[in-house]
Chains A and B, each alone.
Chain A
Amino acid sequence: MWEYTDKVQEHFLNPQNVGEIENPSGVGDVGSLACGDALKLTLKIDDDERIVDAKFKTFGCASAIASSSALTIMVKGMTVSEAEKVTNDDIADFLGGLPKEKMHCSVMGREALEAAIADYRGVILPMAEGEVVCECFGVTDLDVIRAIKESDLRSVEEITNFTKAGGGCGKCEDKLRDILQATTSDTTVKPVQVDGPKRMTTLQKIKKIEEVLEREIKPALKKDGGDIELVDVDGDFVMVSLRGACTSCAKSQTTLKEYVEKKLRELVLDTLIVEEAK
């Protein structure tokens, strides 16, 4: 069970400002159903650039709902330029803190706020102008630098907890480490260098497996009129489906174990086990 503060519980059980403003001045829509959390924020802003109303709709866990409720209370009555200064830590602090694995819920709140303000101004999100570092979650270098500075992050793992960057395929880890080093070099803190093999998350595995399937395995199978598709990844088990000529081929099991599994172990992770899904 998660350790939630009384304030998180209070805002989860009695969320404030639920709903959608009609004819809003700005809308911020972030997250997705597949990711497990999503937030739609609508703002009403008057001629003096003051936020007179804020409402939200959220799909997600208790901390996602509480963060959304906190956000709307905080920004109501603020001018837009004041609201722009609200950070995810402000949201977490308002709630008396969040479990570290749930910090991204507060970041989702800030992202929705930024998106809504950008929408109100009719401009592209400033963060979107940066270079995308993490392609899985669409996180830019500017997002990462900002999170490092605002929340005094010290490791790639912390960056992932706050921004989700690096939590997908993991290909951007080196870049994240570089950014961390560059961003913190003006402070006295030295980033901790993590060595040795890192456990891959399932998302990371999926990304890498798909890449190898596309680049190496599919072209080889297609030469014989066959094809292959990734169905699911569960721990070290990789479920695939053989297509085309492979389905009627008596050697398909050999192909699966001797070729596909070997290749994936060589290029992705040497503990993978390939299985046929259907």
Chain B
Amino acid sequence: MKCDAEKVIYMDNNATTRIAPEVVDAMMPFLTECYGNPSSMHNFGGQVGGAVEGARQQVADLIGSDTSEITFTSCGTESDSTAILSALQAFPEKRHIVTSRVEHPAIKNLCENLGRLTGHKYKVTRLQVESDGTLDMARYEEALSDDTAIVSIMWANNETGVIFPVEKMATMAKERGILFHTDAVQAVGKIPMNLSELDIDFLSLSGHKLHAPKGVGVLYVKRGTPFVPYLAGGHQEEGRRGGTENVASIIGLGRACELAEEMMKEENNRVRAMRDRLEEGLLASVPKSMLNGHKIDRLPNTTNISFEFVEGEAILLHMNRYNICASSGSACTSGSLEPSHVLRAMGVPFTAAHGSIRFSLSIYNTDEEVDFVLEKMPPIIAELRELSPFWKAE
């Protein structure tokens, strides 16, 4: 299969990222000759086990943790489920979960299913967000109770990029003896973090969001936090997660974490500058367009813009013609009847939610690409508005 990646202007990095060439290089030996099982007694396997430990160190260095706190999983979703279910089993007498209305489906649907499967033994408080996508701390404080087993709040939102004050929220939870989990798949590698200084008990991250392959994730569990495994099985990962290690991907994730550390400055300077220029350019050149989400408390790479009176799927397919890749919160792109739950929770009107486009950049984007998108977008929107019976040109 040929994908012509060099032709594509890829601004959909919150969906998935390009595997860094350095990561591919690091992985190759483990897809070819170094195929030993890390658990084996012989040196042929044992040396692979050593490489896995090296990757663990690289992950730990990026998030400021100890290697003993890193458990490799298959994806962000597995890490999320493991953390929540572990906390509920650790505190069987507690029946309350606090989360937000803008969580990723990995948390949203897990909480929903928990209610259903246990006959509503568990009560879930889902915090509202303001119209800019931020959380109200007073309301969060109110929601915490003696019955709360765990809080799960994403570090940064995948659709808007809005960053939540998880450091502070974790401390507030800890003061009340409540465990704190954060789904940080969008935040890791984009914003600096030092978990050894924070009160976060569980953190999920995913390889393919930071230029490692799909199918590998990490659950960070703070030392001393009660833990119950989700996947029972062999003694891999210190018994915390059964199943033979996805060695090549783990090695790739380790290398990707090392690269992310090196690129963090660039992400926050050059990528942010490109994002800002794209955003300001689009808002200025397209009438009736608006930004979704807080302008400041946001990931450096993400912008979510609504173009009123046009439909997101139609916009994306026009962009596709120019090989520009992005995402939309419109109903048609998901196959359901409703636009994105995140934009609805923020109170974005349907007329705007249907026409929302998320651009998410990476270090592989260039200024020329931003110029190209800035040149192509206004005519695409204008063309679709020409078709729209609701658009009245001023």
Contacts and interface: CB of A to CB of B under 8 A. Distances in A.
A271 B115 contact: yes
A33 B390 contact: yes
Contact of A61 (B101, B314, B337, B341): B314
A172 interface: no
B277 interface: no
Interface string B106-124: 0011001001100010001
Interface string A35-48: 01111100000000
Interface string A215-239: 0000000000000000010111100
Interface string A1-28: 0100000010011010010000000000
Contact of B313 (A62, A203, A237): A62
A36 B120 contact: no
B139 to A, nearest CB: 10
Contacts of A15: 387
Contacts of A236: 112, 115-116
Contact of A275 (B126, B317, B321): B126
Interface residues of B, number: 36
Given A202-B337, A271-B116, A40 B389 contact: yes
Contacts of A37: 311
B338 A202 contact: yes
B387 A101 contact: no
Contact of A235 (B108, B120, B125, B128): B108
A234 B309 contact: no
B182 to A, nearest CB: 21
B112 A235 contact: yes
27 contacts: A2-B313, A9-B317, A33-B350, A33-B354, A33-B390, A36-B311, A36-B330, A36-B337, A36-B354, A38-B390, A57-B387, A59-B309, A59-B310, A59-B311, A59-B387, A59-B389, A60-B311, A60-B332, A101-B335, A202-B337, A202-B338, A234-B344, A235-B109, A235-B112, A271-B120, A275-B125, A275-B126
Interface of A: 2, 9, 12-13, 15, 18, 29, 33-34, 36-40, 57-62, 64-65, 101, 167, 201-203, 232, 234-237, 271, 273, 275, 277-278
